[in-house]
Structure 1
Amino acid sequence: MAFPSSFRATMAALALACTTGVGNAHATDNGLYDWQPCPDSLAVEGETRTTKKWEVMLSPYTHHWNDNPEHRPVKLISLDSHVSGGRFCGLALFTNSFGQASTYVYVGKQWDGILGNPKLFTKVSAGLLWGYRGEYKEKIPFNHLGIAPAVIPSLGYYVTPKDSAQVYLLGTAGLLFAYSRSF
């Protein structure tokens, strides 16, 4: 899959910000930086970071509500940084339903122990989507200059304390099924 130059430029800027320590960096005892992309303002005042600092997610399958011969398999990988109070922020890189390289930058909140089940949780994220271009730019609402707002709820189940399966509701488009690993 070939990524367009604007996508490569966005990823290069993100990589530069990560490697130069731009963001929320804290010096550790050994002189290295513990870089966290989530601002401290997302943390609950008086609480320390959760033990689960990072979560990587892979999506092997997306179910579309409507069959469309133009639909392509969606491939997704995301990385979340968690702070206290169930808050997180992250970046998802994916190919959208039309095979275009896309990005979702977001913040969100997670609630554990849904319906009294300690293994059941729900999340909601809100952020900006980039990647629906050309003839597909009208496939998502409020898409201006290739960027659109998004709110994505999900339901998940902890298979182990570090592994979970999740289902994301993609509005009127469909459902995204994912596996995540915390570390």
Structure 2
Amino acid sequence: MKNLRSAHPSVFALGLSGFMACATASAQTSDPAPVTEKADKPSALSGWMFGYAPFDWHFSDARKENDFEPDEQKHAYVWLIQAEKELDERHIAGFAYFKNSFGQPSQYAYYGWRFRPFDSAPSLFIKITGGIIHGYKFPFNKKIPLNNRHGWGITAIPALGYDFNQNWGAQVNVLGNAGVMFQLNYTVR
């Protein structure tokens, strides 16, 4: 046991010198180009925007418009989560899952365009999306145009937004003549 203890510092020094020799040899033989390429390669999530809309504002109270609708209807709490891919500088595609104004789970798959109309304000953008919406089912299927009894329809949603920096932004989605939805966005770069 005593011999192992006295040999310990020399064994440690020998192991350390061997490790340093291997590290120096691999540093001399390895090509630094792949490391640089890997650092420059964007993330798999690069170009994806994730949005959350915790609040909306309706222009008017919910009211009965058709005989088959409930007599005492009120707007339910509305929220939205969204994933959107930037296809190029102008084109986008995405999917949103939300709770509609009548408490029904709903989905929206879309394609759209984003414009930055003012060179003097490059952070300001206008967005228009169009696609398939599902979730406004009977008895609320007539609350949005171009929708069937089972909740399937097509729609277009314009938005006005502003990017605070390269990752964070906000937008206001215009929901026809029903209201607006306020949304916070995070974009992966």
Q: TM-score, normalised by structure 1?
A: 0.69
Post-superposition shift, 1:73?
1.1
Post-superposition shift, 1:91?
0.4
Kindly report which structure 2 residues correspond to 1:104-143, keeping only aligned pairs within 5 A, or say none.
104-114=108-118, 116-143=120-147
Residue 79 of structure 2 corresponds to which residue in structure 1? 75
- % identity of equivalent residues: 33
- Over aligned residue pairs, what C-alpha RMSD do you find? 2.0
Residue 150 of structure 1 corresponds to which residue in structure 2? 155
SS at match of 1:138: helix
Q: Which runs of 5+ in 2 are unaligned?
A: 1-37, 63-72
Write the distance in 2 (CA, Å) between the matches of 1:147 and 1:116: 41
Point out the structure with max Rg over C-alpha. 2
Aligned residues: 136
Write the distance in 1 (CA, Å) between the matches of 2:177 and 2:94: 23
If each structure's strand is expressed as a fraction of its own residues, which one has the higher value?
A: 1
If each structure's helix is expressed as a fraction of its own residues, which one has the higher value?
A: 2
Post-superposition shift, 1:35?
8.2
Closer, same or farther: CA 154–115 of 1 in aligned 2, 3 Å: farther
Q: Which runs of at least 4 in structure 1 moved beyond 3 Å after TM superposition?
A: none
Residues 146, 155 of structure 2: 8 Å contact kept: no
For each residue in 1:87-132, what CA deviation from the matched residue of structure 2 results, as whole angstroms up to 9, or x when unmatched? Answer: 1100000000001000000001111253630111111100011000
Residue 25 of structure 1 corresponds to which residue in structure 2? none
Write the distance in 2 (CA, Å) between the matches of 1:173 and 1:114: 28
Write the distance in 2 (CA, Å) between the matches of 1:115 and 1:74: 34
For each residue in 1:134-180, what CA deviation from the matched residue of structure 2 results, as whole angstroms up to 9, or x when unmatched? Answer: 21111111112311111111110111111111001110111010000
Q: TM-score, normalised by structure 2?
A: 0.67
Residue type of the alignment partner of 1:182: T
Post-superposition shift, 1:86?
1.5
Residue 95 of structure 2 corresponds to which residue in structure 1? 91
